């Protein structure tokens, strides 16, 4: 029945656009939230019949019965949580009910697109759902129609189009070789002719396309503009889950289930991962715009995931997927905090802020939890995933890359300490005397995400046993 994760949201969008406009305007938020929470609840029960029993009538309708593994479940969980948080942020930051209704529709479309990406077991279907997610993202970025928003959306559109061309070209080459685009057929074709130039060219195009989608160095140019110019809700969605699903999850899925590891691919992944990790962290150090700094931080954290994947071992892959999930939580939390600060203070310039935690204590302290987790401070969630990645690199003999990962973690600590000092702590900056904490629509998701971050850190044995260890079956 997992195909319902595509069909039900589609039906929900159609139902929301029935003629009873005022009723639908009121219902849209709750329908979106229900979809996200049901998905989250189901993902937390790996043994549920929903994931394993076929749906006969739906199977006939879609001719699609995907098989779901633990990697898919982790992604559904992250998509559900970040989707729900995005809806809360949208409710908080979009005052006009009509605009909010439209944004929620596009959000549900983006979530459906990401569900499709996770469920796809065929490269062409994967491409179709990547495009659905991308089109919804362009709209969400440009939604406020400011100059910066259009520039951010345009850069994302152009670079995403370049990625699309590359992925499509790769699909054409693989179709020539395998005669089919299902993961199984392509895996067999690659295994039977691993040194074919056509296959190698296709893999190279696919990799570069996914590096662009994931915002990895040197293809990261679009990401800081898109993240910082997007409205608050879109920033949370993009940074929390969109680029992780379209770029990193797809990369992990294709490397583990289709392409397979080889020395060249591992070297490429390790190099790109390390470059992203270090360049992202160094660039974040020099930023004064709150959201732009978080965007560069995302590039750096994505570098860790790719580095873990590049280790080529079960532990490395588990670390990469665990960090992807953790990043979805703590980076969403940081963007939720940024949304609260921007909405309440009217600025994102960190040089103009200071001491805001005095007036916005919940925002201030939840941001401390998020930054400590991002920097890999024990016992928070980020510590465990970074530790697993570093141990995996060390065990695989990539000691230099392991040392670089530790160094990047120190850089992360440095730029987040600088952010905390400039924004939340120290003396209250002039002009912010009458500043108030945001309302419950922004505080509830911030507290929930902070609790998840702490909970994962404390409950690591259960999480590792239930979700992470079963992932080893992928390799």
Partner 1 sequence: MTSPLLFVALLMLLLLAGVWTVMTLNLLKSAIGLAITSVLLTLLLFLLDAPLAGVFELSVCAGLITVVFISAISLTKPLTGPEASERDRSRVKRFFFLPILIAGAAWVLYALGLRLDSPLPPAIAEMDVRQVLWNVRRLDLVGQILIILAGVFGVVILFKDRSDKKEAPKS
**Which residue in 50, 124, 261, 365 binds partner 1 (CB under 8 A)?**
124
CB 228 → partner 1: shortest distance, Å? 20
Nearer to partner 1, 143 or 383 (CB): 143
Contact flag: residue 138 with partner 1 (CB under 8 A): yes
Contact flag: residue 145 with partner 1 (CB under 8 A): yes
State how far the Cα of 121 lies from the Cα of 51, in Å rounded to an integer.
15
Tell me if 175 sits within 8 A of 122, measured CB to CB.
no
CB 244 → partner 1: shortest distance, Å? 20
**Which residue in 80, 113, 231, 354 binds partner 1 (CB under 8 A)?**
113
Contact flag: residue 219 with partner 1 (CB under 8 A): no
Contact flag: residue 56 with partner 1 (CB under 8 A): no
CB 62 → partner 1: shortest distance, Å? 5
Tell me if 214 sits within 8 A of 324, measured CB to CB.
no
Q: Taking CB under 8 A as the criterion, which residues in 179-198 touch partner 1?
A: 179-180, 197-198
Q: Residue 346 contacts by C-beta under 8 Å, 6 or more apart in sequence?
A: none
Contact flag: residue 136 with partner 1 (CB under 8 A): yes
| Residue 214, helix vs strand vs coil | helix
| Residue 179, helix vs strand vs coil | coil
The structure tokens listed for 187 are 């895996």
State how far the Cα of 293 lies from the Cα of 337, in Å rounded to an integer.
13
The structure tokens listed for 226 are 């898109």
Tell me if 288 sits within 8 A of 308, measured CB to CB.
no
Nearer to partner 1, 13 or 324 (CB): 13
CB 144 → partner 1: shortest distance, Å? 10
State how far the Cα of 164 lies from the Cα of 187, in Å rounded to an integer.
21
Segment contacting partner 1 by CB under 8 A, of 131-139, 211-219, 321-329, 465-473: 131-139
Strand partners, 122: 182
The structure tokens listed for 432 are 């912010």
Contact flag: residue 374 with partner 1 (CB under 8 A): no
Segment contacting partner 1 by CB under 8 A, of 37-45, 57-65, 282-290, 355-363: 57-65
State how far the Cα of 119 lies from the Cα of 130, in Å rounded to an integer.
12
CB 462 → partner 1: shortest distance, Å? 35
Tell me if 380 sits within 8 A of 414, measured CB to CB.
no
Half-sphere exposure of 127 (CA within 13 A, CB side): 19
Rounded to 5, what percent of the chain is helix, strand, coil? 80, 0, 20
First to last CA, the chain: 25
**Which residue in 158, 161, 165, 176 binds partner 1 (CB under 8 A)?**
176
CB 101 → partner 1: shortest distance, Å? 10
Segment contacting partner 1 by CB under 8 A, of 70-78, 120-128, 273-281, 448-456: 120-128
Contact flag: residue 162 with partner 1 (CB under 8 A): no
| Residue 378, helix vs strand vs coil | coil
**Which residue in 62, 414, 447, 475 binds partner 1 (CB under 8 A)?**
62
DSSP state of 203: H
Contact flag: residue 125 with partner 1 (CB under 8 A): yes
Nearer to partner 1, 74 or 142 (CB): 142
Nearer to partner 1, 50 or 64 (CB): 64
Give the interface with partner 1 as residue ranges (CB under 8 A).
3, 6-7, 10, 13, 61-64, 99, 102-103, 105-106, 109, 112-113, 116, 124-125, 128-129, 131-132, 135-136, 138-139, 142-143, 145, 173, 175-177, 179-180, 197-198, 201
């Amino acid at each position: 029945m997992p195909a319902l994760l595509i069909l039900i949201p589609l039906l929900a969008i159609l139902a929301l656009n029935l003629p009873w406009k005022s009723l639908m305007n009121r219902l849209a938020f709750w329908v979106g939230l229900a979809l996200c929470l049901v998905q989250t609840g189901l993902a937390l029960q790996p043994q549920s019949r929903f994931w394993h029993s076929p749906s006969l009538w739906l199977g006939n309708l879609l001719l699609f019965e995907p098989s779901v593994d633990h990697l898919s479940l982790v992604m559904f969980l992250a998509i559900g949580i970040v989707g729900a948080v995005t809806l809360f942020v949208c409710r908080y930051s979009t005052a006009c009910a009509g605009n909010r209704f439209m944004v929620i529709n596009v959000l549900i479309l983006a979530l459906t697109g990401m569900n499709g990406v996770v469920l796809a077991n065929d490269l062409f279907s994967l491409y179709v759902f990547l495009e659905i997610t991308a089109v919804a993202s362009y709209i969400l970025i440009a939604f406020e129609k400011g100059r910066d928003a259009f520039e951010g959306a345009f850069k994302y559109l152009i670079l995403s189009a370049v990625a699309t061309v590359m992925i499509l070209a790769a699909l054409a080459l693989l179709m020539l070789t395998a005669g089919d685009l299902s993961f199984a057929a392509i895996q067999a074709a690659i295994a039977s002719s691993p040194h074919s130039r056509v296959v190698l060219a296709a893999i190279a195009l696919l990799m570069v396309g996914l590096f662009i989608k994931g915002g990895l160095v040197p293809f990261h140019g679009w990401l800081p503009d898109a993240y910082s110019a997007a409205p608050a809700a879109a920033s949370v969605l993009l940074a929390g889950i969109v680029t992780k699903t379209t770029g990193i999850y797809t990369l992990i899925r294709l490397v583990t289930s289709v392409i397979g590891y080889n020395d060249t691919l591992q070297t490429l992944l390790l190099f790109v991962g390390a470059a992203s990790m270090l360049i992202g962290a160094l660039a974040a150090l020099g930023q004064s715009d709150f959201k732009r700094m978080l965007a560069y931080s995302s590039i750096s954290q994505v570098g860790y995931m790719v580095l873990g994947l590049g280790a080529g071992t079960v532990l490395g892959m588990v670390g990469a997927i665990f960090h992807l999930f953790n990043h979805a939580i703590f980076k969403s939390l940081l963007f939720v905090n940024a949304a609260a600060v921007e909405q309440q203070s009217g600025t994102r310039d960190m040089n103009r802020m200071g001491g805001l935690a005095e007036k916005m204590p919940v925002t201030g302290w939840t941001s401390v939890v998020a930054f400590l987790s991002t920097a890999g401070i024990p016992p928070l969630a980020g510590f465990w995933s970074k530790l697993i990645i570093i141990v995996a690199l060390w065990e695989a003999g990539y000691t230099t890359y392991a040392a670089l990962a530790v160094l990047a973690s120190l850089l992360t600590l440095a730029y987040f300490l600088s952010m905390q000092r400039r924004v939340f702590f120290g003396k209250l900056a002039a002009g912010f005397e009458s500043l108030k904490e945001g309302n419950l629509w922004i505080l509830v998701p911030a507290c929930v995400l902070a609790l998840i971050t702490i909970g994962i850190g404390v409950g690591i044995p259960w999480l590792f046993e239930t979700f992470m260890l079963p992932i080893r079956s992928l390799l």
